[in-house]
Each structure stands twice: as C-alpha cells, then as structure tokens.
Chain A
Amino acid sequence: MIHFDNVTKVYTNQNRPALDHVSVDVDKGEFVFLVGPSGSGKSTFLRLVLKEERPNSGAIHVAGKDLARLSNFKVPHLRRRIGCVFQDFRLLPNKNVYENVAFALEVIGKPRRFIRKVVPEVIELVGLEGKAHRMPDELSGGEQQRVAMARAFVNRPMILLADEPTGNIDPATSIGIMKVLDRINRTGTTVVMATHDAAIVDSMRKRVVELEDGKIVRDQSRGVYGQAY
C-alpha cells in the first residue's frame, strides 16, 4: 500500500536530511505506529505519502502509484484515497459537525443525496451520534478529533494518516480515539499513525517503526514504544 524505496529528503537550507535512505513497506490493512523524537522525520514521511513534498532521491509508491510519475493534475485524486488527521484537528469553526464532515465530500463534487446518506453513518462510527449539529467550540478536544476522523474517513480512503492525533488530548480520552482508529483499521483501511504517546503504542501492540535522525532504527511487529529487548 505504501512503499518507500531508499528515500532521502533534504529540505532546502538544511544540511541534515529529514529522511535518510529510508526503505519501508506498509501492507494493505496494516496498522503502523511511526515513533521517534521530534525532528526525526515522522511528519516528513507523512507529507511524502501525500505528495506535499518531493523526495530528493528514492522511489515512493502509494496505492500502486509511483508518485514521481504522478502528474500534479492527478495529485488530488491520490489525496482522495488518503484520509488525514492532525494534532490540531483542523475543523472549520463556522461549520457544525455535520457540515464539517460533509465539506470533505462537497469539495470533491459528491452528489448531495450521497452526502446525506454517508455523513450520518460516519458520525455514528466515530461515536458522535446526536451531536451532528454542535459547533466545534461546543465540543471537547476528544470529540473534535472524532469529527476530524469522521471527515478523514467519510470518503472511505484506502489509507488513513494520523499525525499525533492524541497530542492535544488527555490520556483517558485518547483511548476512545484509538478505539475509533482501530475500528477504521478493521474496515480494511491502512492506518499510519505518528505519535509520541508511549502508553498508547504499548497498549495497542501493533507494528512500530522508529525513526531517529531520519533513519529507521527499528521496525518491529507487535512492538512497544521504548526499545524492546
């Protein structure tokens, strides 16, 4: 599903590469934690998958497409198959829960009948039934992140990228968020989650890829956050 082959990314005006000869394979339906200290290259990895950045060398394949050969014109179509969740939720403050989720479908031109059908379904999936008409500022951080996940998942993407989704949320609420991510993963969606949260990684027992200074230092199935001996 995601295939990195010897990928190096150096940002302009920086000497040290953000990713340094990284090769990794993520299969369809996998759940992968991307761990490592700040600046280790986690976010760069996610941005490369979205083709927001281009690698300096190496090849990236996402959903069977070679990103180097993907024209700019087709990048939006790639992104429609990838859902994204962020630490800061990125909801539209002047739209309610339903409208925030529906927005993702409206802007890719989905018919209204389809939107009316799938948005309530996905709001229920993330556990926000009955809150469709709340505004974002009336919701807790955990609930806002659920809205963001609903928006990321409403178009049934093949891949869900989560960049520290529990970063702004207390540990108790984080468990609920992880349950939703797990539920999404069980529908067959590949989930890649970048995180600092050791407790969550340890409790989930999923594949862990650890980055340090842009290099993969550990790739372990059913791993934990810290070094496993």
Chain B
Amino acid sequence: MRANFIFSEVWIGLRRNLTMTIAVVITVAVGMAMLGVGLMINSQVSMMQSYWYDKVEVSVFLCNQGTASERCKGKGITDEETTALKAQLEKIPGVAPGGVIYENQQQAYENFKQSFATNKALIDAATVKDMPTSFRLKLTDPENYEPIVKAAEVLPGVSQVINQRELIGKFFSMLDTLRWAAITIAIILVLAAALLIGNTVRLSAFNRRRETGIMRLVGASNLYIQLPFVMEGMIAGLIGGVLAAVLLIAAKVFMFEEITKFIAIGAPLGWDEVATSITLTMVIGVLICVLASFVTLRRYLRV
C-alpha cells in the first residue's frame, strides 16, 4: 500500500470536483453544527434541571392593599393574620422544618431590582408599594409540590400560589422545542449531505473511469481502487466537521454565554460539554461521509 499514491489520487479527486466538495463541506458543517447545538442544548437542559429542581420553592403571595385577586376580597392582610398564616403554612406536610420565610415589600423590591437589573425603565416605574409580600416555602421533596400548592391556596389571606417549578418548566419546554428543531434540521441536512456525497463520488468515479478501469485490469485490489473515493468523502466530512466545531465554539461563546447574562441559568454550559458535542458530531459526520461514499461506490464502481 503506497500512501502517497492514494493521497495524490484523493487530492486530484477533490480538486476536480471542487464545487461539489465545497457543497459537501458546507452541508456537513451546518448539519453537524445543528446536531451539536442540539446536543449542547440537551446537556444544558439536563444540567439546569438537576441544578434547579432541588432549589425550587413555592411562593405564597399574600393579599396586600389593592391586590386584584378574588380571594382577597379587596382587603389587605393584617400582621396578626400573617403570623397565623405562617403557623398554618408550617403545619402543611411536606414543607421543610423552618422552611417558611417571609419576604416583605422592601425585600421583594430588592429582589425585583436584582432580577431586572438590565431593564432600567421597569425598575424606575415600580415602587416598593407595588411589591407583594409573600412566604417562600422550602419543600422536603421538591418533586412532590402539588399537594402543598393545593393546601396553601385555600388558606385565608393568600392571593396566589406560584410554583417556580412551573415557571422553569415553561423555560425548559421552550429549550426542548429548540433542541428538537435543531436535531430535525440536523437530520435533514445530514440526509442532504449523504446525497451530495453520493453524487460527488459518482462524478468522481465517472471522471476517473479510465484509471479505475486500468486498475481493475492490472489486478489492483478492491481496497486500492475504492480507498481514494472513500478518503475523498472522509476528508470532505472531516473539513466539514472542523468547520462545525468552529461553529459550535461560536455558539457556546455567543449564544449560551449570552443567554446566561440575561437569565440566571444557574448551571452554565462548560467547555467539556462542548468538547463532547464536537467529538460526537465529528465522529458522526465522518462516519456518514464514509458510509455514503461506500454505498455509492458499490453502485457505480463495479469491481
């Protein structure tokens, strides 16, 4: 086996079909990048889930002066009632011992300012008086929040019970949609890439039919005849994979890190997850290219 012979054949093949090769590289790059983004969203979601799900609390908002809620009947809660409510909340089974924390309007305002630090107009418009008072309930089992929400809702002086889990759940379901969209696009592009590679190999086989005919005649082994074609596909796949890696790194820096600036994700995506995604997409990309080359060769290069 003479490596330099194979490589010169591969080089000639790639150069002759330059436009097709570029098309393959771009399709593979974008397809693999989409797949990689899907994988990255996947690991981001699972990291966030494990980070958030044991931190979620149930917020019990109280009736304040002017709270627009049917349950409050237009009346604010008095201090005595608040104390009584706290005792009642502590008795609900599933609430962690000492897990009921009161948040007054000033604290709520501070939290609000922190959450919307980037939105100056909103902070300016809101005043301390607009903030609701609330109890934060820590749960012994965050997964099992429903009976606690139900029990807290009916207590007097409670305007609304919000389970953070549901809010996060909405965010997660959005990410989930995004992930499936990315993976769907990836699958379509991978299919397109496979067809393009098939076409490139077919062109290549046609361009080199003299050479392959002579190779067959003088008894070159199948491997020797087919290897340059498969290598062409593999190299195109590899270049596409490298471009996809660059795109994924860009996605990490400009997409995932930007999102963490706006939303407190809690568990930012690390470089090792990016590396895993890149490795996986590279392997899949090259494998698909080699497979597509091989399948088309079987059809167009009779040995």
Interface-lining segment among B36-44, B60-68, B177-185, B209-217: B209-217
What 10 pairs across the A-B complex have the smallest Cβ distances? A80-B219, A79-B219, A107-B220, A104-B218, A76-B219, A107-B215, A76-B221, A84-B217, A106-B5, A109-B1
13 A-B residue pairings within 8 Å (CB atoms): A79-B218, A81-B219, A92-B211, A103-B211, A106-B2, A107-B214, A107-B215, A107-B220, A108-B221, A109-B1, A109-B224, A112-B2, A151-B214
Contact B218 A90 (CB under 8 A): no
A-B contacts counted at CB < 8 A amount to: 54
Complex interface residues of chain B between 88 and 114 (CB less than 8 A to chain A): none
Count residues of chain B with CB under 8 A from any CB of chain A.
18
CA A80 to CA B2, docked complex, whole Å: 17
B46 contacts A by Cβ under 8 Å: no
**Residue in B closest to A109 when the chains form the complex, CB atoms:** B1
Contact A108 B220 (CB under 8 A): yes
A113 contacts B by Cβ under 8 Å: no
B27 → A minimal CB distance (Å):
30
CA A106 to CA B225, docked complex, whole Å: 12
B interface residue numbers (CB < 8 A to A): 1-2, 5, 210-211, 213-222, 224-225, 303
A155 contacts B by Cβ under 8 Å: yes
Q: Which residues of A contact B215 (CB under 8 A)?
A: 107
Complex interface residues of chain A between 77 and 92 (CB less than 8 A to chain B): 77-82, 84, 90, 92
Contact B224 A80 (CB under 8 A): no
A45 → B minimal CB distance (Å):
16
**Residue in A closest to B217 when the chains form the complex, CB atoms:** A84
Q: Which residues of A contact B217 (CB under 8 A)?
A: 50, 79, 84, 90
Q: Which residues of B contact A155 (CB under 8 A)?
A: 218-219
CA A166 to CA B270, docked complex, whole Å: 72
CA A79 to CA B210, docked complex, whole Å: 17
Contact A151 B218 (CB under 8 A): yes
Contact B218 A92 (CB under 8 A): no
A interface residue numbers (CB < 8 A to B): 50, 72-73, 76-82, 84, 90, 92-93, 103-104, 106-109, 112, 151, 155
Q: Which residues of A contact B214 (CB under 8 A)?
A: 90, 92, 103-104, 107, 151
Q: Which residues of A contact B225 (CB under 8 A)?
A: 107
Q: Which residues of B contact A106 (CB under 8 A)?
A: 2, 5
Contact B5 A107 (CB under 8 A): yes
Q: Which residues of B contact A93 (CB under 8 A)?
A: 210
Contact B5 A79 (CB under 8 A): no
B6 → A minimal CB distance (Å):
10
A38 → B minimal CB distance (Å):
22
Known contacts A92-B210, A109-B224, then 17 further A-B pairs from the complex at CB < 8 Å, ordered by chain A residue: A72-B303, A73-B222, A76-B219, A78-B219, A80-B218, A81-B219, A84-B217, A90-B217, A92-B214, A103-B211, A103-B218, A107-B214, A107-B218, A107-B224, A108-B218, A108-B220, A155-B218
